[in-house]
Chains A and B, each alone.
Chain A
Amino acid sequence: MRTMKIRVTSRYNVRAHDDLASHLDDLMSALHRIEQQARDVEGADVAAALTTGIVDISAVVTADSWEEADHRAAKVFADAIQSAGGRVASDAPAPGDDESLTADIRSTEMVPA
């Protein structure tokens, strides 16, 4: 396997999910804390369009596969959301299962090494 850097972006609709919008600063701080502690996560960012209730969370994950990057990012984002006082959908299965990805939309793209 070749180690890759993959930017994963997850979109959350705060009207459909949890109220992330009111926790944006806490969310960013939580992501930065994870970035400092984890060697495989960098470039975390949060972009919010409060008028539409859309919050995009992204991070560059170093992984051996796209699946691993996808799951790692899902776990990082879920941890950050919980740490910021938000709540990941309680009826969702554990991160790691494809069906557990609670974001409305997720995109992944290759980042130049």
Chain B
Amino acid sequence: MAAKGPARKERIGVRVEGWFHDHWPAITNYAGTLALALAGVAGFLVADQPSKSSTAFIPWWPWSAATTTAALLAVGAVLVGAGLLGSIAAAKATNRLQADLDTASENLLVHATGIEAVLRAILVRICTDLSMYRDDTRASIYALDGAEFVLLARVSKSPTLKIGGRPTYPSDQGIIGLAWRHGRYSITGLEEERDAWERQAVSEYGIPPEIAATLRMQCRSIVGIRVDGAEPELHPLAIVIFESEAPRGVNGKTIDQILAARAWETLAAAVKNMQAEIEGIARVRGVLRTPSLGASQDRARARS
């Protein structure tokens, strides 16, 4: 308990110092402005009573009104000037940082689009090899960022189904979360009628009703396979979801076929080798909350 007092004082000291460091141009500006205002008051008194300009206008004040006015003017001008120079320097530093940040973001987005293209190409290969590159089927790969899944890439022969949906997906909702927890998961025979399907999504898989109503694809069978890192940690890296609009379009047998596919090995190896990049992209995508990497890049281009 005894160490808490000094440590707290030290922390407060550091915070005050940091605050002053961050805000000194503004503080100096305000102080200079105050000095100039006081100089104005003192100058007014001198102008009002010129006969007293050489005498002390406050009994205990050692300087005459004229000297005080001149001193306040000088101090005010110096402080305002210093504050102005500080503000200009801070603005230049901020602009440099913003330019660096913009460049880094654009580079990352270009990089992310490249990784997305690689993942898409491998997913198309897997789907084609297993006769799943169809109008009623799609494959998506997600990475976890905190408590949410972020879509990395999605493929489907159908232009409608391959459009990115929500920017992030809560990890405790839907089949993605189940597949992430179990490592492998399949479900078949989901409801055929749309209203019943939405009720099922809400009551059994924890999808919010307003989200269930907006889901574009009414998938009736889903398979999820988690990609883990190398042994011994087997740290989960990504989850690949295959969805079909047919009641048994994908099923347990599909898991066997996917795991046996050569392109799956390629995908797993790519994910493991690009682990750091994928985690970075997931973080940026989670922050930007854009439906696709391409959209992020388009936005960056539009800004520039």
Contact = CB atoms under 8 A, between A and B. Distances in A.
Contacts of B256: 65-67
A110 B182 contact: yes
Contacts of A106: 186-189, 251
A108 interface: yes
A109 B182 contact: yes
B245 to A, nearest CB: 15
A25 B66 CA distance: 106
A24 to B, nearest CB: 21
Interface in B24-79: none
B252 A70 contact: yes
Contacts, number: 56
11 contacts: A6-B252, A98-B251, A99-B248, A104-B189, A107-B185, A108-B186, A108-B252, A109-B178, A109-B184, A109-B186, A110-B185
Interface of A: 6, 8, 11, 65-67, 69-70, 98-99, 101, 103-110
Interface string B147-180: 0000000000000000000000000000000100
A98 B257 CA distance: 15
A108 B182 CA distance: 10
Interface of B: 178, 182-190, 248, 251-256
B251 A107 contact: no
B26 to A, nearest CB: 59
Do most interface residues of chain B lie in helix, strand or loop, or is the interface mixed? mixed
B251 A110 contact: no
Contact of B251 (A11, A70, A109): A70
B200 to A, nearest CB: 9
B185 A70 contact: no
Contacts of A107: 185-188
A69 B255 CA distance: 12
6 closest A-B pairs by CB: A66-B252, A105-B189, A67-B253, A70-B252, A109-B182, A110-B184
Contacts of B189: 11, 103-106
Contact of A105 (B183, B184, B187): B187
B251 A105 contact: no
Contacts of B186: 66, 106-109
A109 B188 CA distance: 12
A66 B185 CA distance: 10
A110 to B, nearest CB: 4
Nearest to B190: A105
Given A107-B187, A108-B252, A108-B255, 10 more contacts: A6-B184, A66-B184, A66-B256, A67-B253, A99-B248, A101-B188, A103-B189, A106-B187, A107-B185, A108-B187
